A and B are shown apart, each in its own frame.
Chain A
Amino acid sequence: MKKVLGLSLLLTSAFFMSCSDDDPIVISPETVIENAKTTFVSNYVNIVEANYNDALAKTKDLQTAINAFVAAPDAAKLATAKQSWLDAREPYGQTEAYRFYDGPIDGADFGEIEGNINAWPLDEALIDYVADGTGGQEASDNRQNIVNNITEYPNFTKEILRNLSGYSENESNVTMGYHAIEFLLWGQDATAPSAKLAGQRPFTDFTTKENSERRKQYLKLATEILVEDLEAVTKQWKSGAQYRTEFLALSKNDAIDKILTGAAKLSNGELSGERMVTAVVNQDQEDEHSCFSDNTHRDIYLNAKSINNIINGSYTKVDGTKISGTSLLEVLTLVNAAEAVTLTTTATTVMAKVKVISDAKFFDYQIIGETKDNNNKPVMSAVTSLEKQGIELAQAGKTITGNNIDSEV
């Protein structure tokens, strides 16, 4: 409803301005489109800023909970820390469409921070003990790891942990970010998917278990690193920050290219391909995005929401207030109304389908029996819609800017 109102206001004001006898200024349709592009980009920037602010605030809450837990570990404080982690994922999950265009989150100029914040799958065996046969280093390490290998890593600093992630130039050796913290809070999900249980790490891992002090230290430092990294990203989008200023100074077409590249790639590549199809094909809970906490159903929903926020030009903050402005659909309607109708339908379908996944929970259970060539079951039908949406987003970009946009990761 609101979107229709927004659009009609936009068109009406153009009409008024061009028809007023007192004011002979004629606003051409081209100008209306240009204005819509401008307000779409500025609305996007406002959404990005609010979204990262939320993610950072909730991650700082997580840090508070973890610090309290580490100071005096018990079951209740572990539960609080876990809930804080889940809460922090709600805004963060919605930021993922701001990727894939070399911005503050994953641009080389900014140090590819995304890899520290949200890389997965984790090499949990490199961090802490794991069940037999789920990893571990070479024989000479005796399957020990950073927490338990005192000889190799006598003490921890943030610097040491930062340098270890991706050691040996291997992008799979991930030891930092949300998922490292998730693993330390939940532990491996060693139960069958049918048990519908997440990781069962006892709080005694942080009290009586061997190397509990080191485990606490790792958890605390990993969280500090996460907050620092997220702060660095958030800072770049604040009013007056260099990146935000540069982004707003881009030609509107270039800015829209970036916005839609991120959204299209998340839709057609990262989310549908990396995070959903791969799990379906491998039938392996290790291939779930949040495999320790069994929170993948929310990741999927929130990532889709991230794209949808751009399509509909609105973001609801954690405190319930709404940021909204010119949406992609409004701009697209001005340029090609038919494409806008198609995208509206697809976007609605996507959200309905990811809601089914979110409501069903336990993604590791949901994928059982699905295959990559059967598009009718819940997970793969969501994949199919996301792929379609990604292609339509890339097409929308081309329609609006005239430039080719690649939706494929």
Chain B
Amino acid sequence: MNKVFFYAIVTLLLFSCNKKEEYTSLYNYENGEELSAGKLTTTILGVNAFDQKVPGLSQLDGRSFFVGNSLFRQNWVSSPASTTARDGLGPTFNARACSSCHNKDGRGKPLETGQKFSAGFLMRISTSGIGAHGGPKTLTNYGGQIQEHANLGVSYEAKVSVTFKTIKGTFTDGESYELKEPIYTISDEQFGSLQNALTSPRVGQQVIGLGLVDAISNNDILANADEFDADNDGISGKANYVWDVVKNQTVLGRFGWKANQPNLKQQVAGAFSGDMGLTTSLFPDENCPSPQQDCQKFPNGGLPEVTDEALTDIMIYSSSLSVPIRRNFKDENVLKGKQIFKDMKCNSCHTEVFTTSNNYPANKTLENVTIRPYSDFLLHDMGDALADNRPDFKATGKEWRTQPLWGVGLIDEVNNHTFLLHDGRARNIEEAILWHGGESEASKEAYKNLTKEDRTAVLGFINSL
């Protein structure tokens, strides 16, 4: 009897206590959702948020990470050079260091009106038709992108400048917004006119988590493909199939703004070749199209300029960059934003979860990790406003690869800007949403129909990633 009475009192007390402190979130926090790279997530935030290596590398890989970081960060110089480690820049190039376009492993800035130096921007070019191996057809005189810089005594290829046109719009609640549409001008062409070339402007993406993306199995990416929208949800999801220069065959593409690179190693070697004019065992030829005589005659920095050992160090480095932990992930507003994000079907393309494969020989530490990249790594029609009208393997001129959203909220802290999308035209996350079209038109309209409060919640959620 006493005992019952005692329990009754305790229960009453507990109940009243609970009632006082009781607080039920309207929205669900999912256990571990803040760990964007699972157990490999870094907790370091701030300006170095994108610089962190994943834990658990072997001693030698850990050392390679630093060497790779140094190669990534520092300027290469033209040959002949007394510096032995970074010799062979150019002859034509866009940047002298990887970090020029990925400062602190973060995002490049778009071209600005009247800008003198580009800081992470380049213009891809091609001509109509299909090139070797199904890729863009390169221009005989220029190759695949405009190299706006060159070593002493060599001609640069051309210059690119930009102006902006304002596009006005309104949200359903009456608030107005403005987008800035970039209009590019190519001038000063040194090897014949480029006025009719197909063009595609690009900025450098942050390089976090690339090894984890590389480690996802093809099947897991293809599982989300729905090229002909068989499920009739208005969202396709198309795999790009691109040329693998090592395998010498067409394979699934997953890196780059158009998913036009099959793997991280080729992406890195491609950037060495195209952006910096450095040869690797993957791309052993100097990037000097036939009329560019000075370019062809220029001394090189060894064959290849980036040795296989250096390429391995860069690979260990770029594949081992972690992804920062999410912030404010339990805030009511953020959780609400997450729910609206889902309700608007943003996650149809910005897929939350993948698990890396159990077979990633390039970096064993990255195997079997649950990651939250918020991308399906597939192509989607993004509408006319974003179209570059330049096909790239299977990608049409309107299709772009879903951009992973992990780390997006930290670009400002790392790079002092919030420019987004393939050429950095969106000045912030909201503008990036408003540029969405094509398959994502309905999601964008849903966003425009939200109240200011709900829009803020969505942005709060995306910023927490």
* A139 partner residues in chain B, CB cutoff 8 A: 149-154, 156
Which residues of B in the span 146-161 have a Cβ within 8 Å of any Cβ on A? 149-154, 156
Nearest 10 Cβ contacts at the A-B interface:
A273-B66, A282-B85, A133-B81, A169-B119, A168-B117, A284-B85, A278-B70, A169-B103, A170-B100, A281-B67
Complex: chain B residue closest to A383, CB-CB: B63
Which residues of A in the span 156-173 have a Cβ within 8 Å of any Cβ on B? 167-173
Distance, CA A135 to CA B103, complexed state (A): 20
Distance, CA A409 to CA B70, complexed state (A): 13
B44, B75, B154: the one contacting A172 at CB < 8 Å is B75
* A102 partner residues in chain B, CB cutoff 8 A: 46
* B62 partner residues in chain A, CB cutoff 8 A: 273, 387, 408
Distance, CA A277 to CA B71, complexed state (A): 13
Which residues of A in the span 275-313 have a Cβ within 8 Å of any Cβ on B? 277-278, 281-284, 286-287
B78 near A169 with CB under 8 A, answer: no
A121 near B67 with CB under 8 A, answer: no
Distance, CA A278 to CA B86, complexed state (A): 12
B74 near A121 with CB under 8 A, answer: yes
A277 near B63 with CB under 8 A, answer: yes
- Distance (Å) between the CB of A399 and the closest chain B CB? 18
B313 on interface, CB distance cutoff 8 Å: yes
B280 on interface, CB distance cutoff 8 Å: no
A284 near B83 with CB under 8 A, answer: yes
B413 on interface, CB distance cutoff 8 Å: yes
Apart from the given pairs A133-B87, A170-B100, A171-B99, 16 other A-B contacts in the complex at a CB distance below 8 Å: A112-B47, A123-B75, A133-B79, A133-B80, A134-B81, A136-B77, A172-B99, A277-B67, A282-B70, A283-B84, A284-B83, A286-B83, A372-B63, A372-B67, A406-B43, A409-B66
A108, A134, A170, A171: the one contacting B83 at CB < 8 Å is A134
* A167 partner residues in chain B, CB cutoff 8 A: 117
Distance, CA A299 to CA B371, complexed state (A): 40
* B374 partner residues in chain A, CB cutoff 8 A: none
- Distance (Å) between the CB of B399 and the closest chain A CB? 29
Distance, CA A136 to CA B64, complexed state (A): 28
* B99 partner residues in chain A, CB cutoff 8 A: 170-172
B109 on interface, CB distance cutoff 8 Å: yes
Contact digits for A353-375, partner B, Cβ 8 Å, 1 yes 0 no: 00000000000000000001100
Distance, CA A273 to CA B154, complexed state (A): 37
Which residues of A in the span 174-219 have a Cβ within 8 Å of any Cβ on B? 190
Which residues of A in the span 372-409 have a Cβ within 8 Å of any Cβ on B? 372-373, 383, 387, 404, 406, 408-409
A138 on interface, CB distance cutoff 8 Å: yes
Given contacts A134-B77, A136-B152, contact A408 B82 (CB under 8 A): no
A287 near B85 with CB under 8 A, answer: yes
Contact digits for A47-79, partner B, Cβ 8 Å, 1 yes 0 no: 000000000000000000000000000000000
Given contacts A121-B74, A170-B97, A170-B119, contact A107 B46 (CB under 8 A): yes
Distance, CA A383 to CA B151, complexed state (A): 37
- Distance (Å) between the CB of A339 and the closest chain B CB? 20
Distance, CA A300 to CA B73, complexed state (A): 21
* B60 partner residues in chain A, CB cutoff 8 A: 372-373
- Distance (Å) between the CB of B104 and the closest chain A CB? 6
Stretch in B51-59, B337-345, B384-392, B453-461 with 4+ CB within 8 Å of A: B51-59
Complex: chain A residue closest to B87, CB-CB: A133
Which residues of A in the span 109-132 have a Cβ within 8 Å of any Cβ on B? 112, 121, 123, 125, 131-132
Q: Interface of A with B (CB < 8 Å)?
A: 102, 107-108, 112, 121, 123, 125, 131-136, 138-139, 142-143, 167-173, 190, 269, 273-274, 277-278, 281-284, 286-287, 372-373, 383, 387, 404, 406, 408-409
B152 near A108 with CB under 8 A, answer: no
* B118 partner residues in chain A, CB cutoff 8 A: 168
A107, A123, A274: the one contacting B66 at CB < 8 Å is A274
* B73 partner residues in chain A, CB cutoff 8 A: 171-172
Distance, CA A287 to CA B70, complexed state (A): 9
B463 on interface, CB distance cutoff 8 Å: no
B55 near A408 with CB under 8 A, answer: yes
B415 on interface, CB distance cutoff 8 Å: yes
Distance, CA A247 to CA B327, complexed state (A): 23
A372 near B77 with CB under 8 A, answer: no
* A136 partner residues in chain B, CB cutoff 8 A: 77-78, 152
Given contacts A131-B82, A139-B153, A406-B43, contact A169 B413 (CB under 8 A): no
Given contacts A133-B81, A139-B153, contact A408 B97 (CB under 8 A): no
B120 on interface, CB distance cutoff 8 Å: yes
B69 on interface, CB distance cutoff 8 Å: yes
Distance, CA A409 to CA B64, complexed state (A): 13
B46, B53, B79, B108: the one contacting A409 at CB < 8 Å is B53
Distance, CA A145 to CA B310, complexed state (A): 29
A286 near B100 with CB under 8 A, answer: no
B103 near A171 with CB under 8 A, answer: yes
Given contacts A102-B46, A167-B117, A173-B75, contact A282 B84 (CB under 8 A): yes
* A277 partner residues in chain B, CB cutoff 8 A: 63, 66-67
- Distance (Å) between the CB of B350 and the closest chain A CB? 27
Distance, CA A282 to CA B70, complexed state (A): 10
Which residues of B in the span 81-130 have a Cβ within 8 Å of any Cβ on A? 81-87, 95-97, 99-100, 103-104, 108-109, 117-120
A133 near B66 with CB under 8 A, answer: no
A170 near B77 with CB under 8 A, answer: no
* A387 partner residues in chain B, CB cutoff 8 A: 59, 62
B42 on interface, CB distance cutoff 8 Å: yes
B63, B78, B100, B153: the one contacting A273 at CB < 8 Å is B63
Distance, CA A171 to CA B96, complexed state (A): 11
Complex: chain B residue closest to A284, CB-CB: B85
A143, A274, A404: the one contacting B152 at CB < 8 Å is A143
A172 near B97 with CB under 8 A, answer: yes
- Distance (Å) between the CB of A269 and the closest chain B CB? 7
- Distance (Å) between the CB of B411 and the closest chain A CB? 12
Distance, CA A278 to CA B70, complexed state (A): 7
B46, B55, B85: the one contacting A286 at CB < 8 Å is B85
B400 on interface, CB distance cutoff 8 Å: no
B97 near A190 with CB under 8 A, answer: no
A132, A135, A372, A408: the one contacting B53 at CB < 8 Å is A408
B313 near A281 with CB under 8 A, answer: yes
